[in-house]
Chain A
Amino acid sequence: MLELALHILDIAENSVRAGAKTVFIDITEDRMRDRLEIEIRDDGAGMDEATLKKAMDPFYTSKKVRRVGLGLPMLAEAAERAGGSFTIESRKGMGTRVAVGFQLSHIDRQPLGDLSGAFMVLLAGNADVDFVCRHQCGGRVFTLDTREIRKEIGDIPLNHMEVLKFIRQYMMEGLNEIGTEARISHHFEGGYDT
Chain B
Amino acid sequence: MAKLKIEDLKKIKEMVHAETALRDGFKRVKVTVHMGTCGIASGAKEVMDSLMSEIEEAAVSDVMVTTSGCMGLCSREPLVTVEIIDQEPIKYEYVNPNKMRQIFKRHILEGEIQTPFVLARGAEVVK
Contacts and interface: CB of A to CB of B under 8 A. Distances in A.
Contact of B36 (A13, A74, A153, A169): A13
A6 B56 CA distance: 23
Interface residues of A, number: 43
Interface stretch (B65-73, B97-105, B112-120): B65-73
Contact of B48 (A70, A124, A153, A170): A124
Interface in B13-65: 13, 15-17, 33, 35-38, 40-41, 45, 48-49, 52-53, 55-56, 61, 65
A154 B14 CA distance: 10
Contacts of B7: 152
A71 B36 CA distance: 9
Interface string B65-85: 111111110100000000000
Contact of A66 (B4, B35, B65, B70): B70
A166 B40 contact: no
Interface residues of B, number: 38
Interface in A148-175: 148-149, 152-154, 156, 159-166, 169-170, 173
B40 A17 contact: no
Contact of B69 (A17, A117, A166, A169): A17
Given A161-B65, A164-B52, 15 more contacts: A1-B40, A63-B70, A64-B127, A66-B72, A120-B52, A121-B33, A121-B45, A124-B66, A148-B6, A152-B10, A153-B16, A154-B13, A156-B12, A163-B16, A169-B4
